[in-house]
């Protein structure tokens, strides 16, 4: 996902906000909003409705009222979310495909970034930390979450609030196990071998060491 595509997604969200302001962005796209760059490949965006809303109906209403060029080409439902694939047509020869993973949740903490409601930074970091390791079983790394953390942990955040969000989902001993999993030797090996897969094009950054991640969050 490059900056042009990010702008197209942001434009869609702002169009949807005209009729429904109860939309919060999470996941990798929220990370891109916070760090203000397309740091890796991202094929879709996660959005949460904090009310009961039909995404298809909302898109159709936006098209009708504002003459926006969105066309739904696929729609599916699974246990956790609804997936909507649509295109935005610029002219007969130019179009962009947009994929939305849509979730419904009663409420979600957020902050506004450039007119977009994004999941609160500390909650995003907590979610990424939990995503790094499957604490129910053995170490099951999600390198893309670790990669996102390299950027998110350079921002200004409230460490106590991160732990607040972690404690909403995990007990203290499981939080300790989570961090132990992240900095394990197994994870270090995977970090070295797979991490570069998620670097976007020519964009590079000075990598934070795994120990530094732990030290930034744990005091």
* Strands 94-104 and 45-49, bridge-based pairing: parallel
Could you tell me where the DSSP H helices lie in 23-137? 27-35, 55-66, 121-132
pLDDT tens digits, 52-92: 778 899 999 999 998 888 999 999 988 788 999 998 877 66
Same domain, 103 and 127: no
CATH number, position 87: 3.10.450
Q: From residue 10, how far is each of 17, 66, 91, 96, 208 by CA, in Å?
A: 10, 16, 19, 13, 29
Residue-wise pLDDT tens digits, 151-176: 888 898 888 898 889 888 887 777 77
CA distance 149 to 126: 10
Q: What is the pLDDT confidence band of residue 13, given thresholds at 50, 70 and 90? A: very high
Out of 60, 83, 117, pick the residue that ends a domain. 117
Structural domain boundaries enclosing 41: 3-117
Longest Cα separation, the chain: 57
* Number of compact structural domains in the chain: 2
Domain final residue, candidates 92, 117, 142: 117
Whether residues 63 and 127 fall in one domain: no
Residues 140, 114: Cα–Cα separation, whole Å: 35
Tens digit of each residue's pLDDT (9 = 90 or more) over 202-212 = 444 455 555 66
Average pLDDT over residues 46-51: 87
Query: Are residue 89 and residue 78 in the same domain, yes or no?
Result: yes
Q: How far is CA 131 from the centre of its chain?
A: 11
pLDDT of residue 197: 58
Task: Provide the whole-model pTM.
Answer: 0.81
Query: Residue 27 pLDDT more than 50?
Result: yes
Pair (126, 98) in one structural domain? no
């Amino acid at each position: 996902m490059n900056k042009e595509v990010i702008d197209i997604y942001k434009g869609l969200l702002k169009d949807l906000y005209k009729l429904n302001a109860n939309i919060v962005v999470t996941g990798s796209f929220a990370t891109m909003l916070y760090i203000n760059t397309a740091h890796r490949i991202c094929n879709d965006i996660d959005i949460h409705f904090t009310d009961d809303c039909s995404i298809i109906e909302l898109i159709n209403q936006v098209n009708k009222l504002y003459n926006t060029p969105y066309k739904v080409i696929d729609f599916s439902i699974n246990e956790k979310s609804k997936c909507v694939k649509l295109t935005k047509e610029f002219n007969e020869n130019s179009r962009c495909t947009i994929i939305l993973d849509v979730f419904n949740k009663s409420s979600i903490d957020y902050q506004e970034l450039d007119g977009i409601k994004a999941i609160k930074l500390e909650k995003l970091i907590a979610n990424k930390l939990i995503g790094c390791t499957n604490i129910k079983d053995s170490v099951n790394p999600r390198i893309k979450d670790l990669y996102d953390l390299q950027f998110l942990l350079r921002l200004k955040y409230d460490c106590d609030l991160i732990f607040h969000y972690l404690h909403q989902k995990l007990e203290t001993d499981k939080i300790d196990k989570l961090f132990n999993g992240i900095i394990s030797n197994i994870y270090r090996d995977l970090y070295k071998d797979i991490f570069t897969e998620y670097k976007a094009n020519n964009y590079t950054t000075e990598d934070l060491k795994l120990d530094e991640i732990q030290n930034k969050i744990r005091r």
